[in-house]
Amino acid sequence: MVQEESIATKLPRINEIVWLLEKFDPDTLNALRNQYPEATGLLTKGIQMGGTSSQPASAMKVLVAAALKGLTSGVKICEQSIPEIRRRLKRANALRFASEVLTVLAGASIFTVLAMDFGNIVRYIVAFFALLGSLVALAASFVGGTFHSSGGSLFDYYKELIDCQIDAKRILQELEIWKRSDLTDPSIDAAIKQSNEICSRILKTANLAA
Amino acid sequence: MKNPRYLFLIVALIVCVGASHHVQAQTQFCPRELLHGYEAEYVRAHTVLPDRTTPRVDDMSVFVTVHGESLYVQSNYAPPGLAQPRASSFGGGLTPFKLATDESISELSEVINILTDPRYYLMPEFRTERDFEAKRQAHEQEIQAAYARGMTIYVEERLFNSSKWRELDLGFASDVRLVTSKFIYKTILRPHALAMVGEKPKRLVALHSNHVFTDIRNTAVVTRFNNTAFRRNDVRVLPLLQDQATLERFKLLIPSALQIDTNHLTSEAVINSFARNQGKILFIIGHIPERTGRLVVEDAAQGEVFSISIKDLEDAAKANHNRLFIMGCKSVTEGAGQGTLEVLNSVNAVDRIYSALGAKTYGDFLRRISDTGSKLNIVVDEVLIEGAERRISISFHHDVIDLALGFGLASGTVIVYEVFSTDDDRRRRVKKTARTSIRRTANGSRGKHRN
């Protein structure tokens, strides 16, 4: 077997791209590993924590291919998550509106007047509306909440995923052009690093918004 | 030239002529009395190598050292049928085989192979064209087998001070002995048996068990590792990186009580976490760019978030009695007291720690660290078990106190106790606990106590 010429330059990292593929699109990752068996080290999850190791001559090709696949999967995750988050936000909005209506009803002066004629029944109804208002408000914050209370609001994630989707599509177009070049331009490194960073943001947001 | 006999004659003539002149970037060898410029090495080799020569490669000894930029290798091998045996003024036997080279050779076995290659010594039985290649290959195999079993390699310490030769791979040599100015250390060695690590100060470590290296002068510590019980509650793990695969694995596998919080980490927060985990084995998983001596936390776009020097970590660990183990690439070479000699994947590092948490003894613990997934050469020293051994000592004396207390209270005698420990803080704590316990239990009884 003819050994490929190896290069020992410092390559941009694709750890988050690989992890995104492994979690959400393992078939694509396996296909990449089969396509580039000489570069399985590059397609391993986690990071090599220092040192230098010689890489196959096809390394840049592998990185660009992985970035393209990773971003494509990332865009798909965004496309699936964004409508779901939007639905949850709409539901939370509706609940919040209902809670406000109930709270307003509970405090309405009409009940004070009615209470003079109907006594206890009206007082029960008012108390019930007040309780329902609080419960619906709680439900609204639950529906509009995130995986962890310290993780921010669902709307923040909605915004972040939209940003990620836009960024991913932009870098995808850029990489498609670079893919046809001889892959020696230093700007490709920056594009791959950005791809890795976008995949990291998508992973974090998708995890927390779930 | 069809007849290799003449070719070898010419090669031998060239190298013998070359041996009398110091020529740059070449290998000099010849079964002559001395190699010009290497007289001192020749004498030192004679003080270490056996006086007698041997025709058997599995009985031969080899002396390895450096002279300037050159590697010098000498043996007591003298094959039967050597073309021109000459009497040696040292020892009276045949002149020893020796070689000096400043070419780039990465493996010692390759050097020994060249040193003893029959092509260069023109033994009569190798002179037939048909058999020669087969016999030469057989000889090569014989050398390889002997290298792994039977051959004794003496390595001078100065080899590890040479920037060019310090990483010479000793391969699968079975018996490597370190020669210093005072002693010859015999070590039980396997692949990468000796490693000189760190730029400054230099440490010489030797393999004592499966991929676990310790200081070469402290062989007794291995028995202590095997005899000391391991408790997983002594471990704390801090991943100093932002790789999500690693962090998810860390949160999944490492019990939360053993995790050090990774949110809002800064170099100060890392140092502060040492004080909160005094006496613990601290595993720090992190990226160490080559020849920086620093752990660098990078974001997904490879921008530096913060970094911290290994020296600062070691100092903080020392101040807080932590037993620090840095899981990063070649962390020991980068200055860590305990860590790795090789490159390492971050997810695999978590798997190794998780596997080690199930160990019963420290020996088992180290085996699991070095042998989970793939082989990993690690370096540890006795600091790893210092806390654990002390704990055993304190527990034992505490039991003695309880027994004495019970006996003393029952008999109404004066109780005198003392706790033996090298750790003053803990001694005070144990004393205090014991005293409180005596007072509480003695209340209402006639028993007295005295410190």
- Residue A96 placed within a domain: yes
- Burial call B413-430: b when 16+ CB within 10 Å, e when fewer: eebebebebebeebbeeb
Measured in whole angstroms, the distance separating CA B211 from the mean position of its chain's CA atoms is: 8
Is the ipTM here above 0.90? no
What's the CA gap between B264 and B253, in Å, rounded? Answer: 21
Nearest to A13 among B288, B302, B349 (CB): B302
Average of per-residue pLDDT across B37-54? 87
| Domains identified in chain A, total number | 1
A167 and B CB contact within 8 Å: no
Nearest to B344 among A18, A49, A204 (CB): A49
What is d(CA B251, CA B443) in angstroms, rounded to the nearest whole number? 49
Q: What are B109's two structure tokens?
A: 């076995």
Closest CB to A50: pick one of B301, B330, B347.
B330
Q: What is the pairing mode between strands B27-29 and B294-298? A: unpaired
Task: Check: pTM over 0.90? Answer yes or no.
Answer: no
The per-residue pLDDT for B241 is: 94
Q: Shortest CA distance to A10 belongs to which of A59, A45, A44?
A: A59
pLDDT averaged over every residue in chain B: 74
Q: Which band of pLDDT confidence, cut at 50, 70 and 90, is reported for residue B204?
A: low
Nearest CA among A201, A173, A193, A181 for reference residue A63: A193
Q: Do A48 and B243 touch (CB under 8 A)?
A: no
* Torsion (CA) B406, B409, B415, B419 in degrees, nearest 10: 30
Give the nearest chain B residue to A194 (CA atoms): B301
Q: What is the rounded average pLDDT for all residues in chain A?
A: 84
First to last CA, chain A: 47
The answer to whether residue A4 is domain-embedded is no
Q: How confident is the model at residue B305 (pLDDT cuts 50, 70, 90)?
A: very high
A8 within some domain: no
Distance CA B149, CA B153 (A): 11
Confidence of residue A195 (pLDDT cuts 50, 70, 90): very high
DSSP string, B251-287: HHHS-GGGBPP-TT--HHHHHHHHHHTTT-EEEEEE-
Name the percent of chain B lying above pLDDT 70: 63
Domain that holds residue A62: 14-37+58-209
* Chain A residues closer than 8 Å to B244 by CB: 16, 19, 200, 203-204
Assigned domain for A99 exists: yes
Cβ distance A49 to B347 less than 8 Å, yes or no, reads no
pLDDT at B395: 41
**pLDDT of residue B99 exceeding 50:** yes
Q: Quick check: B255 pLDDT over 50?
A: yes
- List, for residues B385-429, the tens digit of each pLDDT value: 876 665 544 444 444 444 444 443 444 333 333 333 333 344 444
CATH code of the region B228-381: 3.40.50
Tell me whether residues B329 and A203 touch, CB distance under 8 A: no
Least confident of B68-72, B159-163, B288-292, B400-404: B400-404
B314 pLDDT tier (thresholds 50, 70, 90):
very high
Please tell me which of the candidates A16, A50, A204 has its beta carbon nearest to residue B343: A50
Residues of A in contact with B249 (CB under 8 A): 46
pLDDT digits 0-9 by tens, A95-146: 888 888 888 877 777 777 777 777 777 778 878 888 888 888 888 777 766 5
CB of B349 within 8 Å of any CB in chain A?
yes
Q: What angle do CA B166, B170, B175 make, to 5 degrees?
A: 125
For A40-72, write each residue's pLDDT tens digit: 889 999 999 987 767 788 899 999 999 999 999
Closest CA to B172 of B186, B187, B190, B188: B190
A203 within a domain of the structure (yes/no): yes
pLDDT score of B361 more than 90:
yes
CA atoms within 13 A on the CB side of A6: 10
- A1: in domain: no
